Amino acid sequence: MFISQEIAPYLADTPTTVFNRDLPQGIQEHGAEVRTFMPKYGKINERRNQLHEVIRLSGMNLIIDDSDHPLIIKVATLQPARMQVYFIYNDDYFVNNLAKVLETESSKDDNDERSIFFVRGVIETVRKLRWIPSVIQCGGWITALAPMYMRQIYSDDPSFRDAKIVYALYADDFDQPLDERLADKLLQDGIPAECLSAIQGKAVDSLMLTQLALDHADAVIQCSPNVRPEVLELVEKSGLPFLPYPGGPYYADAEGNVVNDEQYQAIVDTREAAKEELEAWEAQKAKYNGQIDVLLDQLDELGDDGDPEKRQQIDDAIAGIRHAIDTEAPQVPALPTLVNNKAQYVEPIYEFYKSL
């Protein structure tokens, strides 16, 4: 079972979203029964991705900090593997119209409760399905509370009692710490106080949240080459079975050089800042190409036996326009391409699961 923060194609292709799509598919191709869960962000187009609500799984109220939040479960089938993806939704934490950015970015003050709701929503859905996974992989900071809930509250539940919990590390640090009342909210859910002493009364940063996950996980996988050294130090101190980065999707420039996440974002930002200039240039280039078409028609009318001087004038004019196209184009870096070799990482991760 995979609990993921982001999955392609429901969100745009990135190394993380493609990894979270292809790894479950690769494990399923090894003969395993796989189910995948992610939040139903407002950015996800339900019609295009053919999501529909599962009435028999929806309707439960989850109480968080003394407030009721109805749990809505939606599902889609990921082709071509025909793998089911379950979406956890509630309009208090995820907007119901197409949004430009994820709620984890646009509404950061609610991220603590958003994480609690998502994790509890996944757990209650698995219980209703009466599914008993052998391995549960939690990927992304929004899933970090799942190991603690499963071990502290649902340790005797048949769905989780014998499962091995794997925490997957990504380069997904968040810049705004979670609410300092997070520990109080977890206490209300029944998490023992001794599990929360390190965060009691504190704003919880990504390192503290990672430590909570490691305290209750059975193993760790590094799923990004850019995980912070401080996070890897926590893993080393934990003594948990650890699979270092086995490879995965990555961005590459035209020469095949690896482009890391920060470099990629810098290119995206540069292109966005030059958006109007690029649009104006595309319009100008269309005019230039139209002029070339007119001149080529004139050459055709002259024919091979036409006036050589006139033909030379037209050839020179075409060359001049093509030179303008080459030299006047805005100097904006091209977007790197996404390179993905699924076999590189699926096999070692599958063997790692088997070793647990």
The pLDDT tens digits of the residues spanning 237-280 come to 999 999 999 998 988 887 888 887 778 888 888 888 877 888 88
The rounded mean pLDDT for the chain is 91
Which two structure tokens, joined as six digits, stand for 197? 């002493």
Residues 9, 133 within the same domain: yes
Residues 140, 236 within the same domain: yes
Which structural domain range is residue 13 located in? Answer: 2-248+341-355
| 255 falls within a domain | no
pTM recorded for the entire structure: 0.82
Model confidence at 137: pLDDT above 90: yes
Per-residue model confidence (pLDDT) at position 101 = 86
Residues 49, 162 within the same domain: yes
Residue 204: DSSP 8-state: B
Residues 173, 305 within the same domain: no
pLDDT above 70 covers what percent of the chain?
Answer: 99
Per-residue model confidence (pLDDT) at position 275 = 79
Question: Is residue 40 within 8 Å of residue 94, measured between CB atoms?
Answer: yes
Per-residue model confidence (pLDDT) at position 274 = 79
Residues 313, 348 within the same domain: no
Model confidence at 282: pLDDT above 80: yes
How many independent structural domains does the chain possess? 2
Residues 151, 295 within the same domain: no
Residues 194, 124 within the same domain: yes
Distance CA 206, CA 218 (A): 19
| 333 falls within a domain | no
Model confidence at 122: pLDDT above 80: yes
Give CA separation, 304 vs 126, 237, 313, 317, 318, in Å.
76, 80, 14, 18, 17
| 259 falls within a domain | no
Residues 197, 308 within the same domain: no
| 300 falls within a domain | yes
Helix (H, G, I), strand (E, B) or coil at 221: strand
DSSP strands (E only) in the chain: 2-4, 36-39, 52-53, 61-64, 67-70, 72-78, 83-89, 135-139, 164-169, 219-222, 242-243, 250-252, 258-259, 337-339
pLDDT above 90 covers what percent of the chain?
Answer: 67
Residues 230, 304 within the same domain: no
Per-residue model confidence (pLDDT) at position 63 = 94
Question: Is residue 140 within 8 Å of residue 4, measured between CB atoms?
Answer: yes
Q: Tell me whether the omega of the peptide bond preceding residue 192 falls within 30 degrees of 0, making it cis.
A: no
| 267 falls within a domain | no
| 264 falls within a domain | no
Model confidence at 31: pLDDT above 80: yes
Mean pLDDT of 288-301: 90
| 35 falls within a domain | yes
Per-residue model confidence (pLDDT) at position 272 = 81
Distance CA 96, CA 99 (A): 9
Residues 174, 280 within the same domain: no
Per-residue model confidence (pLDDT) at position 273 = 81
Mean pLDDT of 18-37: 94
Band (138; pLDDT cuts 50, 70, 90): very high
Residues 212, 282 within the same domain: no
pLDDT digits 0-9 by tens, 308-346: 888 888 889 999 999 988 888 887 888 888 888 888 899
| 183 falls within a domain | yes
Residues 153, 292 within the same domain: no
Choose the weakest-confidence range: 73-82, 92-101, 161-170, 180-189: 92-101
Which CATH number characterizes residue 186's domain? 3.40.50.2000
Mean pLDDT of 222-248: 94
Model confidence at 172: pLDDT above 90: no
Model confidence at 214: pLDDT above 90: yes
